[in-house]
Amino acid sequence: MEVDARGPDQDAGGLLFSIALLASVFVAGTIGYVAIEGWTPWEAFYMTVTTVTTVGFREIHELSRAGEIFTVFLVLGGVGAALYTFSQFAALLIEGGLANHLRRRRRVRMIDTIKDHFIVCGYGRIGSIVAKEFRQQGVPFVVIERDPARYQAAVAGDVLAIDADASQEEVLKRAGIERARGLITAVGTDAENVYTVLSARVLRPDLFIISRSESGDSTRKLQRAGANRVISPYQIGAVQIAQTAIRPAVVDFFDLATSSDNLELAMEQITISPRSALADHSILDASLRQRFGVIVVAIQREDERMEFNPEPTMAMRAGDKLVVLGRPESLKQLGGEAAS
């Protein structure tokens, strides 16, 4: 899906202008006949329609010399405006511009109403993979990409995209940053990522922001700019290569648990809502293993402190995030109880 942030379609704008021009001709003709000939508004409008459309019906009443002169100019202006309107409409139909404009309007409305989504800044190697993963997991998102080739790649992939610079505050507002769940910056350079993070943090001080980093120095700058998490793809890739060489079974297990394609086993993050019945209960009292068949791998407290391999007697508090392993359908059921 595409949304061009640079303005409405020029062809559609031409059609709207031509319709407005033709309407003004009808209004002017009606007013002219009323003023010159003293006819009623309906008689004047009827005469204007038959004149502009060159239907050739009889005149309503005999015209005065001033009325005849006015009719000549009305024919010249009205026929010209009608032909111009028809040509604009035909061009939109033949070139597909009208259909594209209607689709663009519908997608603009989608962006205006989307909420609890992620904004993905950049559709390069990293951004496109993030977008693919979001689509597979049914996570709503909007892509911002200013490079024409990458933007077209997003459009070809049926991605809701905006063709603009992600570091501009107006563009982030257009992407619905006020309603967004989080923002991911993966644009061309570290400097662009820093500007994007700064703009996003100014607009949403509470927004969860993840940024890509190319070097250790830029990691610190991105953190100071306001990124909650800074990830270096090269460092992560190198670490995974080393871990695969040393502990291949462990890496295979995590790949299996975190893959969106796996239907048998998944690892999920589940937040305990203050209104949930699980709040202030221990893992044992809540019978998570017996009721849902899941394993609680860790609990992240509100202060982001992580409790690994928690004891069955450990209490779950409101705002805690459970890192849970189990079947996707079981995790979905647990997530529903944790949220209600």
How many domains, the chain?
Answer: 3
- Any domain includes 108: no
- Any domain includes 11: yes
Name the DSSP letter for residue 63. Answer: P
Rounded distance between C-alpha atoms, residue 181 and residue 137, angstroms: 15
Q: What is the CATH number of the domain that holds 317?
A: 3.30.70.1450
pLDDT of residue 144: 95
Do 230 and 281 lie in a common domain?
A: no
- Any domain includes 106: no
What tokens appear for 174 in the block? 């257009």
Do 231 and 126 lie in a common domain?
A: yes
Do 187 and 277 lie in a common domain?
A: no
Using the structure block, give the residue that is written with the tokens 């899906």: 1
pTM: 0.65
- Any domain includes 90: yes
Segment 171-202, tens digit of pLDDT: 999 999 999 999 999 998 899 999 999 999 99
Residue 275 belongs to what domain range?
Answer: 263-339
Q: Which of residues 63, 97, 131 is at a domain's end?
A: 97
Rounded distance between C-alpha atoms, residue 126 and residue 70, angstroms: 66
The string of DSSP letters for 199-263 reads HHHHH-TT-EEEEE-SSHHHHHHHHHHT-SEEE-HHHHHHHHHHHHHH-HHHHHHHHHHH-TT-S
Segment 35-81, tens digit of pLDDT: 998 888 998 888 888 888 777 667 778 888 888 888 888 888 888 88
Name the DSSP letter for residue 115. Answer: -
Do 93 and 118 lie in a common domain?
A: no
Q: What is the CATH number of the domain that holds 26?
A: 1.10.287.70
Rounded distance between C-alpha atoms, residue 57 and residue 186, angstroms: 67
Do 288 and 208 lie in a common domain?
A: no
What tokens appear for 282 in the block? 């221990």
- Any domain includes 281: yes
Q: Judging by beta carbons within 10 Å of its beta carbon (0-12, 13-18, 19+), is residue 186 exposed, middle or buried?
A: buried
Do 140 and 207 lie in a common domain?
A: yes
